[in-house]
Amino acid sequence: MYIIVVGAGRTGSKVIELATQDEHEVVVVERDQELAEAASATYDCMVINADAASEEIMLEAGVQESDALISTTENDSVNLMIQMLGKQYDVETLVSSINEPQHMELFGNLGVNVVESPHELNGQYLYRAVQRPAIQDSMQVGAGGEIFELTVDEGAPIAGLTLVDADANGLLPEETVIVAIVRDDELHIPRGESDIQAGDTVTIFAKGGASDRITDAFTKG
């Protein structure tokens, strides 16, 4: 995967660390020279020391070829401009931190997956939003557990099955529980014979956290 990360501060550095560990092709754009030099010295990635709020710089970074664009600056206006460029060049996955909650709707209207209040932990969430974009919201529970939401795709392996059938087919790991199903704005507390339909929003608890095996069950491959 070709990932552009804008900003190499606390949040951006965590994203860069995770993405390079997974051996993705990563390009970093950072306007602060000291941060840019630190990123270049620490991570196996290309670093451009420049202002990303420029179409010329983003083209140099390869926005037209990228699979994901992650903006992590402390300026929401800059983040929004960067994401607008990503949208213009049809980047498949757009992800940004935001610093003011009232700006969330602006990013949402653009189709950007957002995380509030950037810090190191949210660097993990930003990167996870690229790895598993189907997850809409999540919360850590204890050591490694996670509660998160997914919307069921048309044609997903689990669509049309009851929870009993899904379990019999081995679609979900052990210690994974469907906590709630929202269908047509109505909340359902699931039982074994409850079925899951395309378009449902399901809330899931996974003791081991979100995994590809779980998201693959709810999304069309």
pLDDT in tens, 114-139: 876 555 446 666 776 676 666 666 66
Residue recorded with tokens 């990932």: 3
For a pLDDT cut of 90, what percent of the chain falls above it?
53
Alpha-carbon gap, residue 50 to 189, rounded angstroms? 51
Average pLDDT over every residue of 3-13: 93
Q: pLDDT at position 128, please?
A: 66
Q: What is the pLDDT of residues 165-184, one digit of tens each?
A: 999 999 988 889 998 999 99
Question: In the CATH scheme, what architecture does the domain 139-218 have?
Answer: 2-Layer Sandwich (3.30)
For the stretch 76-90, pLDDT in tens is: 899 999 999 999 999
pLDDT of res. 120: 45
Dump pLDDT digits (tens) for 201-221: 999 898 888 888 888 999 886
Q: Are 106 and 80 in contact, with CB atoms under 8 Å apart?
A: yes
Mean pLDDT of 8-18: 90
Query: Would you call 126 helix, strand, or coil by DSSP?
Result: helix
Superfamily for domain range 2-131: NAD(P)-binding Rossmann-like Domain (3.40.50.720)
Q: How confident is the model at residue 94 (pLDDT cuts 50, 70, 90)?
A: very high
pTM, two decimal places: 0.65
Task: Report the C-alpha gap between 64 and 86 in whole angstroms.
Answer: 8
Report the residue count for the chain: 221
- Residue spans per domain, the chain: 2-131, 139-218
Q: The tokens 């610093």 sit on which residue? A: 99
Local structure of residue 152 (DSSP, 8 states): P
